[in-house]
């Protein structure tokens, strides 16, 4: 799954390329789109669970500049016992097609029990939900 983002002036830093912190916002926008399309937030809320970030790893490959159209792709790439991973990429597009890889990222998430504020194992129907989404994306 993907979302397109146009680089605006407020995304830029003093060097006139996208500030590294803005990429976190771009990645989050695409993840929220993914979560919304698959109703994951609602499904986990029904089980009194929250999806929380445990780790973020980003590789910055090329700068993006004002006016670039960036395509942010998102997929679930791995599911462990207590965490799962989103694989995300940001591509500069040309004529609507991905051209240059700008960044790639792996984000690790845990499920938090809202009542106890502790992480929980990914098992049963929750595991089945996540497994059904493995590698769905662009």
Structural domain span for residue 25: 2-131
Residues recognised as catalytic: 13
Q: Could you report how far apart the first and last alpha carbons of the chain are, in Å?
A: 5
Residue 74 lies inside a defined structural domain of this protein: yes
Residue 136 lies inside a defined structural domain of this protein: no
Residue 59 lies inside a defined structural domain of this protein: yes
Helix or strand (DSSP H, E) at 32 = helix 20-37
CATH of the domain at 117: 3.10.129.10
Residue 127 lies inside a defined structural domain of this protein: yes
What's the total number of domains in the chain? Answer: 1
The whole-number average pLDDT for the span 18-45 is 94
Distance of alpha carbon 91 from alpha carbon 73, whole angstroms: 8
Residue 39 lies inside a defined structural domain of this protein: yes
Helix or strand (DSSP H, E) at 69 = strand 69-79
Task: List the structure tokens of 34.
Answer: 């993914």
Residue 50 lies inside a defined structural domain of this protein: yes
- Taking 90 as the threshold, does the pLDDT of residue 134 lie above it? no
- Taking 50 as the threshold, does the pLDDT of residue 138 lie above it? no
* % the chain with pLDDT above 70: 97
What are the pLDDT digits (tens) for 50-66?
999 999 999 999 999 99
What are the pLDDT digits (tens) for 64-78?
999 999 999 999 999
- Taking 70 as the threshold, does the pLDDT of residue 136 lie above it? no
Q: Residue 1 — pLDDT band, cuts 50, 70, 90? A: confident
Residue 52 lies inside a defined structural domain of this protein: yes
Q: Residue 125 — pLDDT band, cuts 50, 70, 90? A: very high
Residue 32 lies inside a defined structural domain of this protein: yes
- Taking 70 as the threshold, does the pLDDT of residue 128 lie above it? yes
Predicted local distance difference test score (pLDDT) of residue 135: 65
User: Could you tell me what percentage of the chain is helix, strand and coil, using 3-state DSSP and rounding each to the nearest 5?
Assistant: 25, 45, 30
């Amino acid at each position: 799954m993907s979302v397109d983002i146009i680089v605006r002036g407020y995304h830029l830093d003093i060097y006139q390329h996208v500030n590294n912190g803005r990429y976190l916002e771009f990645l989050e926008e695409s993840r929220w789109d993914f979560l919304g399309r698959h109703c994951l937030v609602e499904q986990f809320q029904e089980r009194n669970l929250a999806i929380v970030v445990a780790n973020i790893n980003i590789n910055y490959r090329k700068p993006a500049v004002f006016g670039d159209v960036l395509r942010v792709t998102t997929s679930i790439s791995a599911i462990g016992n207590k965490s799962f991973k989103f694989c995300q990429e940001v591509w500069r597009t040309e004529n609507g097609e991905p051209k240059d890889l700008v960044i790639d990222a792996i984000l690790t998430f845990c499920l938090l029990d809202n009542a106890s504020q502790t992480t929980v194992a990914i098992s049963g129907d929750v595991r089945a939900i996540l497994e059904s989404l493995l590698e769905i994306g662009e």
